[in-house]
Structure 1
Amino acid sequence: MGLTLNSPEYPPMSFLRAFRRPGFMSMLGLALCSSSALAANPAAEGAAIAQHGAGSAVPACMSCHGVKGEGNAAAGFPRLAGLPAGYIAAQLHSFAQGTRPNSLMSPLAKALNDGQITALADYYSHLPLPVAAYGPMPAPAMAATGQRLAERGDWNAGIASCFRCHGPGGVGVAPDFPPIIGQPASYIDAQIKAWKTGARRNDPQGLMHTIALRMSDADTQAVAAWLAAQKPSAPKAR
């Protein structure tokens, strides 16, 4: 059976009437040119997605991660500003592939193409770091535990220090090990627990899963609170 004007596959008459209107092709051309311009300028495309989203499936990143990529400590949304581009891109791919499942981020990451992911990662990696820490220094006993675990670990429990992989001062070692200072305590705590349960499975060689299994809840809370109280610093390049 051939197509007719009443076939659902056929363009509706309202579209055909609009198509014939003066100026329609100019408007269509402008939209296509704008889209092409963004694709040709990754920095502009990354900024556009961060600030305005990408279609109906991807809202503006800043609605959760802050206007300047500073994160939202109260809601547990991490800082993106100043993170290594390679790390951000890898996390978006992990969200999309299911190795870092998240009910909010997974569908958003799946809606982004590779070019958009690269553009977003590059955009956030070039944003300036926040100037203040994300939380107050915890009580002395808790702070001492957190600092010890971050700087020296607990070899009796088989827990390597955080800074052994994440670099001196926890500023990160691009692109695989992100900064762990200057992130909200609630976010750090949640990620350690996700590795512990196996909900998050995108750590290199299963390192974080192994370490998290050996940490008590008190250990996790202490190191998260201490790290959050440190002022953000730029990651080191390999």
Structure 2
Amino acid sequence: MAQRMLACTACHGTQGRAAPDGYYPRLAGKPAGYLYNQLLHFRDGRRVYPLMTHLIAPLNETYLMEIAEHFAAMEVPYPAPARVNATPQDLQRGEQLALRGDASRNLPACVACHGTALTGVKPATPGLLGLPRDYLNAQLGAWRAGLRKAHAPDCMADIAKRLAPSDISAVSAWLATQRVPADAHAVAPSSTPLPLQCGSAPAPAGGRP
């Protein structure tokens, strides 16, 4: 499988650790359900990147799940956080949005859905730590502009459209400066209902989300 995944790691880095240019994200250790959903989104046009679409268009859903599970099972270390160009006020605003949200604008905290340690929640919510700031900015901007979509209810699109550009810059700066904890695995779902119910794609027959 690793040999077949060289087309992926050419952009996403050795073992899916992320490329050094700050744009291609880490795949290793992400929840399999999340990776599977994103492959479907690229294939079906809810995420737009022609190279990804071209690579996975011929692949069936069972094989896409095998790809997702391959990268989800990888246990490779995270690099130290990169330095970012942000003021203390920006970082304080980013921390507020990530950990507490902004009730005055009906913005839930990132931790409400992505886990209290921001390492993700099984089966399909990704972690937010260990991602380059440029990638976080690009994805939040894509949600806000309607260039990235998910199955209804598309909660990230709703949240991103309520974020000002300064909010996106602040939260991406704070997230990018946080050290990934030693246990970076996605956690089991909480019994407490999430503030938003987001849509996701079903697993293929015989697949394991």
TM-score, normalising length: structure 1 = 0.72
Q: Match of 2:93, as an amino acid? A: T
In the TM superposition, residue 134 of structure 1 has moved relative to its aligned partner by: 4.1
In the TM superposition, residue 95 of structure 1 has moved relative to its aligned partner by: 0.6
8 Å contact kept, 2:32–2:124? no
Q: Whose radius of gyration is greater, 1 or 2?
A: 1
Task: Give the 3 Å change call, closer, same or farther, for CA 157–86 of structure 1 in structure 2.
Answer: same
2:30 to 53, 78, 83: 83
In the TM superposition, residue 204 of structure 1 has moved relative to its aligned partner by: 5.5
8 Å contact kept, 1:73–1:134? no
Task: Give the 3 Å change call, closer, same or farther, for CA 211–175 of structure 1 in structure 2.
Answer: same
8 Å contact kept, 1:66–1:72? yes
Aligned residues: 185
In the TM superposition, residue 68 of structure 1 has moved relative to its aligned partner by: 2.1
What residue number does 2:101 align with? Answer: 153
Structure number with the bigger relative contact order (C-alpha 8 A, sep ≥ 6) is 2
2:9 to 55, 62, 71: 62
8 Å contact kept, 2:11–2:19? yes
1:139 to 67, 70, 87: 87
8 Å contact kept, 2:98–2:111? yes
Kindly provide the CA deviation profile for residues 22-74 of structure 1, in whole angstroms up to 9, marking residues without a partner as x.
xxxxxxxxxxxxxxxxxxxxxxx3x22212xxxxxxxx111110012111252
Q: Distance in 1 between matches of 2:107 and 2:76?
A: 29
Percent of residue pairs bearing the same amino acid type: 36
1:172 to 112, 116, 120: 120
Q: Which runs of 5+ in 1 are unaligned?
A: 1-44, 52-59
What residue number does 1:126 align with? Answer: 73
Q: Which runs of 5+ in 2 are unaligned?
A: 190-209
1:234 to 169, 185, 200: 185
What residue number does 2:148 align with? Answer: 200
Q: Distance in 2 between matches of 1:130 and 1:231?
A: 12
Q: Distance in 1 between matches of 2:140 and 2:170?
A: 12
Q: Distance in 2 between matches of 1:98 and 1:90?
A: 12
